[in-house]
């Protein structure tokens, strides 16, 4: 009997090419995802060195960050964005790389496209020049973000130099309360372990809460691993994973499918394997969670008060004071009731079909509050079309949301969707950094999509469990 | 691609205080709308340095006595957030050769090291002492010893931390790994051939 091993070790060992002179591992990257922001410089470096793409058929591209979500026809109004999409298209054509272009019907945020197409598979290594590549870990892949020089390395060699991280198992057991979503679980984990708690670790999410989650919920959780400092986070593959993948364009068919499923099942962590660290969290203690500060760990339950600088350890006082000043909040005040000027439903964290279904279910017959600018941006063209087939777009539009085309949009405001001045945005995205949503003085409060809907209809940060309580008009 | 070894960094410092200085603050996303890294140095910490109306905000980087500083000092978890290499690129292109911080976010650290930008982590007390020495004397020179993972200022040596892999890569001039990765192409092909999902591919 072999020593029991966790998924991370199995996948890492299977992809380890060798040890480099400095002691790092040369790791084979089976799937390389690229987009318009972090790849053009890498292609430029390749050209300077006279190198070609090592495995173009394992490289997949789409365009997401800079895409306008209202008027999508080219040339884009922004000449810089227009140059970026043209460079991506040209690089893909020149190197024979599959590219899901704007009009392909399959374009979307790169972390939506991989799973939708079945490119994202268990037991694989996936790299992309984007920190939210951790999303793909939901399928039991080792998936992580890389910088542009590493994009170059993967293009040229299909490998990168990497130090093997430790593995922390995060178990969440028990029942989540009504109105508590995957987003609340991951915000609570980051709040508990800190924004730097995951440095040097890969996170394995385990326990019956994750076992019961849909793939879309698991993606929400894995997506924000990096916000807790962990470059990579994963859930062991199971029947939920295989059911999601079956029949998607890039997964094997027939006998090959059965073989793949057997292989994938065997990649899951063995019972009794050892971890570098284990953290156990009680699901019943998690309430709808919102951020109050300028990093995703600065979060409270929606019915709590924001901290006061005097209440935290001396080493954290300056950070808390800085965050409160930026957010225009007073220490000790309740977070609920904080006025909201913008509501954003979107991003690779929470812009999937299930997110919009949840929102539509509570928004039917409700109206966005006066003075709130509300936009809904599906994460992919396929999600957009699925929502439109189900009439979800109508519910959102009738409620007062703008219904847009797929892209990263106001998560990081590289396209025209931006906060103005010091607007406060209730956002289903992943980062509340200063300036993140396009205005240096703009303010972001992260929360689940249903909580965004509650903020939109009340014009303030609000507990969705109360706002949408049955029977309330 | 032989690179000059990075064994020492000597220069004056500037302190950008605070923990969790994220990549959006280092280089706001709107400056990523480009197909090269050219000019990124001009926008380092842009939104912390200049208000929307163009008014200077008195950022440490803009103080005349800090002009020409080549060592950036900050708090814990420096460079958290995005994988954008634009962040260390903007720091390096603004003339910095090293960052000293309480700790570093992982992707930032790897991106910076690949560029030869030295990232030295110091414990709380050491960081406070070094930052105070920099604040006290704008002309004070910091001397970072990469192999020893230490920094000396005002005649005092402060021990820090840097993973051995990064120290070795910098000190041997192998911090850009591409040449070494390409040397093992046969092993890459063999590894791919062993993996069923890649075995059918050209390798």
Confidence of residue B1 (pLDDT cuts 50, 70, 90): low
Burial bucket for residue A472 (CB in 10 Å: 0-12, 13-18, 19+): exposed
Domain residue extents for chain B: 8-172, 175-203
pLDDT at A351 over 80: yes
% of chain B exceeding 90 in pLDDT: 96
B165 contacts on A by Cβ (under 8 Å): 22-24, 163
Q: What is the pLDDT of residue B199?
A: 86
**Residue B82 contacts A, CB cutoff 8 Å:** yes
CATH of domain A289-467: 3.30.499.10
Q: What is the pLDDT of residue B181?
A: 98
In angstroms, the Cα distances linking A341 to A428, B29, B177, B187 are 14, 22, 47, 56
The structure tokens listed for A444 are 């972001």
- Average pLDDT over every residue of B102-107: 97
Q: What is the pLDDT of residue A1?
A: 58
B176 contacts on A by Cβ (under 8 Å): 149
% of chain A exceeding 90 in pLDDT: 98
Do B192 and A12 contact (CB within 8 A), yes or no? no
A243: Cα within 13 Å, side-chain hemisphere: 7
- From CA A108, how far away is CA B108, in angstroms rounded? 26
Mutate to test the interface with B, among A34, A149, A168 (most CBs of B within 10 A): A149
Q: Residue A34: helix, strand or coil by DSSP?
A: strand
pLDDT digits (tens, 9 = 90+) for A14-69: 999 999 999 999 999 999 999 999 999 999 999 999 999 999 999 999 999 999 99
- The candidate with the shortest Cα–Cα distance to A348, out of A147, A138, A176, A189, is A138
Q: Least CA distance to B88: which residue of chain A?
A: A147
pLDDT at A472 over 70: no
- From CA A157, how far away is CA A392, in angstroms rounded? 44
Q: What is the pLDDT of residue A471?
A: 52
Q: What is the pLDDT of residue B201?
A: 55
Q: Least CA distance to B178: which residue of chain A?
A: A153
Confidence of residue B202 (pLDDT cuts 50, 70, 90): very low
> What angle (nearest 5°) sits at the alpha carbon of residue B3, between those of residues B10 and A56?
130
Q: Which are the contacts of A470, defined by CB distance < 8 A and separation ≥ 6?
A: none
Say yes or no for a CB contact (<8 Å) between A123 and B197.
yes
A30 contacts on B by Cβ (under 8 Å): 192, 195, 197-198
Average pLDDT, chain B: 96
pLDDT at A374 over 70: yes
H or E segment to which residue B181 belongs: helix B178-183
> What angle (nearest 5°) sits at the alpha carbon of residue A351, between those of residues B36 and A470?
155
Size of interface A-B (CB pairs under 8 A): 226
pLDDT digits (tens, 9 = 90+) for A420-457: 999 999 999 999 999 999 999 999 999 999 999 999 99
Q: Residue A312: helix, strand or coil by DSSP?
A: coil
DSSP symbol at B56:
B
DSSP string across B77-89: TBTBS---THHHH
Do B74 and B22 contact (CB within 8 A), yes or no? no
pLDDT digits (tens, 9 = 90+) for B45-87: 999 999 989 999 999 999 999 999 999 999 999 999 999 999 9
Say yes or no for a CB contact (<8 Å) between B195 and A78.
no
CATH of domain A7-267: 3.30.499.10
**DSSP bridge pairs for A344:** A375, A427
pLDDT digits (tens, 9 = 90+) for A180-190: 999 999 999 99
Do A147 and A127 contact (CB within 8 A), yes or no? no
ipTM above 0.90, yes or no: yes
For residue A116, is it left (φ>0), alpha (ψ between -120 and 50) or beta?
alpha
Domain residue extents for chain A: 7-267, 289-467
The structure tokens listed for B170 are 């910098």
- The candidate with the shortest Cα–Cα distance to A290, out of A401, A61, A450, A51, is A450
Q: What is the pLDDT of residue B203?
A: 42
Confidence of residue A244 (pLDDT cuts 50, 70, 90): very high
Say yes or no for a CB contact (<8 Å) between B33 and A14.
no
pLDDT at A473 over 60: no
pLDDT at A458 over 90: yes
Q: What are phi and psi of A137, to 5 degrees?
A: -60, -20
Mutate to test the interface with B, among A16, A17, A86 (most CBs of B within 10 A): A17
Confidence of residue A78 (pLDDT cuts 50, 70, 90): very high
DSSP symbol at A36:
T
Q: Residue A70: helix, strand or coil by DSSP?
A: coil
> What angle (nearest 5°) sits at the alpha carbon of residue A277, between those of residues A302 and A218?
50
pLDDT digits (tens, 9 = 90+) for B113-126: 999 999 999 999 99
Confidence of residue B179 (pLDDT cuts 50, 70, 90): very high
Q: Same topology for domains A7-267 and A289-467, yes or no? A: yes
Q: What are phi and psi of A98, to 5 degrees?
A: -65, 130
Do A291 and A277 contact (CB within 8 A), yes or no? no
**Residue B37 contacts A, CB cutoff 8 Å:** yes
- Average pLDDT over every residue of A353-372: 98
Restricting to B residues 5-34, those with a Cβ less than 8 Å away from any Cβ of A are 17-20, 22-25, 28-30, 32-34
- H helix intervals, B63-163: 86-93, 106-114, 124-136
**Residue B173 contacts A, CB cutoff 8 Å:** no
Q: What is the pLDDT of residue A151?
A: 98
Q: What is the pLDDT of residue A2?
A: 80
pLDDT at A88 over 90: yes
% of chain A exceeding 70 in pLDDT: 99
- Average pLDDT over every residue of A276-303: 98
**DSSP bridge pairs for A166:** A201
Say yes or no for a CB contact (<8 Å) between A412 and B178.
no
pLDDT at A361 over 90: yes
- From CA A114, how far away is CA A62, in angstroms rounded? 10
Q: What is the pLDDT of residue B124?
A: 96
- Average pLDDT over every residue of A281-288: 98
B168: nearest CB among A22, A84, A413: A22
Q: The domain at B8-172 falls in which architecture?
A: Alpha-Beta Barrel (3.20)
């Amino acid at each position: 009997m072999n020593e029991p091993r966790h998924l991370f070790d199995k996948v890492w060992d299977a992809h380890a090419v060798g040890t480099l002179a400095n002691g790092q591992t040369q790791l084979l990257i089976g799937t390389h995802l690229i987009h318009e922001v972090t790849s053009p410089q890498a292609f430029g470096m390749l050209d300077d060195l006279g190198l070609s793409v090592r495995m173009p058929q394992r490289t997949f591209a789409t365009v997401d960050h800079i895409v306008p979500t209202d008027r999508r026809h080219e040339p884009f109004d922004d000449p810089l964005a227009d140059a970026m999409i043209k460079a991506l298209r040209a690089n893909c054509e020149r190197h024979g790389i599959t590219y899901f272009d704007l009009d392909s019907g399959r374009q979307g945020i790169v972390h939506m496209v991989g799973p939708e197409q079945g490119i994202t598979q268990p037991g694989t290594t996936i790299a992309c020049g984007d920190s939210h590549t951790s999303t793909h870990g939901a399928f039991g892949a080792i998936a992580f973000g890389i910088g542009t020089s590493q994009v170059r390395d993967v293009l040229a060699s299909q490998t990168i130099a990497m130090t093997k991280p430790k593995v922390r198992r995060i178990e969440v057991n028990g029942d989540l309360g009504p109105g508590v979503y995957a987003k609340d679980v991951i915000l609570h984990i980051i709040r508990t372990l800190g924004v730097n708690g995951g440095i040097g670790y890969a996170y394995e999410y385990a326990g019956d809460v994750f076992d019961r989650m849909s793939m879309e919920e698991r993606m929400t959780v894995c997506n924000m691993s990096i916000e807790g400092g962990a470059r990579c986070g994963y859930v062991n593959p199971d029947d939920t994973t295989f059911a999601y993948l079956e029949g998607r364009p890039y997964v094997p068919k027939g006998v090959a499918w059965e073989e793949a499923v057997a292989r994938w099942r065997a990649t899951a962590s063995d019972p009794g394997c050892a971890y570098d660290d284990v953290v156990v969290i009680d699901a019943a203690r998690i309430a709808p969670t919102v951020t109050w500060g300028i990093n995703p760990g600065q979060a409270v339950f929606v019915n709590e008060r924001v901290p006061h600088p005097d209440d935290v350890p001396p080493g954290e006082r300056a950070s808390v004071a800085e965050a409160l000043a930026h957010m225009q909040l007073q220490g000790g005040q309740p977070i609920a009731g904080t006025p909201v000027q913008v509501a954003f439903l979107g991003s690779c964290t929470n812009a999937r079909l299930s997110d919009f279904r949840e929102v539509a279910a509570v928004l039917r017959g409700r109206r966005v509050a006066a003075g709130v600018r509300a936009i809904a941006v599906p994460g992919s063209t396929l999600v957009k079309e699925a929502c439109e087939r189900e009439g979800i777009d109508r519910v959102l539009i009738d409620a007062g949301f703008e219904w847009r085309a797929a892209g990263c949009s106001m998560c990081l405001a590289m396209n025209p969707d931006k906060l103005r001045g010091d607007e406060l945005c209730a956002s289903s995205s992943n980062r509340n950094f200063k300036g993140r949503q396009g205005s240096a003085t703009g303010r972001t409060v992260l929360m689940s999509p249903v909580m965004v809907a509650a903020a939109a209809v009340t014009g303030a940060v609000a507990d969705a469990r109360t706002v949408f309580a049955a029977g309330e008009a | 691609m032989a690179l000059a070894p990075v064994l020492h960094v000597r220069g004056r410092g500037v302190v950008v205080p605070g923990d969790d200085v994220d990549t959006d603050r280092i280089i706001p996303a709107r400056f990523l709308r480009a197909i090269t890294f050219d000019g990124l140095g001009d926008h380092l910490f842009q939104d912390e340095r200049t208000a929307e109306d163009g008014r200077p905000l008195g950022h440490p980087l803009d103080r005349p006595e800090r002009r020409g500083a080549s060592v950036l000092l900050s708090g814990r978890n420096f460079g958290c957030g995005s994988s954008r290499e634009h962040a260390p690129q903007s720091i390096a292109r603004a003339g910095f050769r090293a960052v000293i911080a309480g700790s570093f976010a992982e992707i930032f650290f790897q991106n910076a090291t690949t560029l030869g930008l030295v990232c030295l982590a110091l414990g709380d007390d050491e960081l406070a002492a070094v930052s105070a020495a920099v604040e006290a004397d704008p002309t004070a020179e910091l001397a970072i010893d990469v192999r020893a993972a230490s920094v000396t200022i005002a005649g005092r040596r402060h021990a820090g931390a840097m993973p051995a892999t990064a120290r070795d890569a910098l000190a041997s001039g192998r911090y850009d790994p591409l040449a070494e990765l390409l040397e093992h192409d046969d092993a890459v092909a063999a590894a791919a051939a062993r993996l069923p999902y890649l075995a059918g591919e050209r390798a």
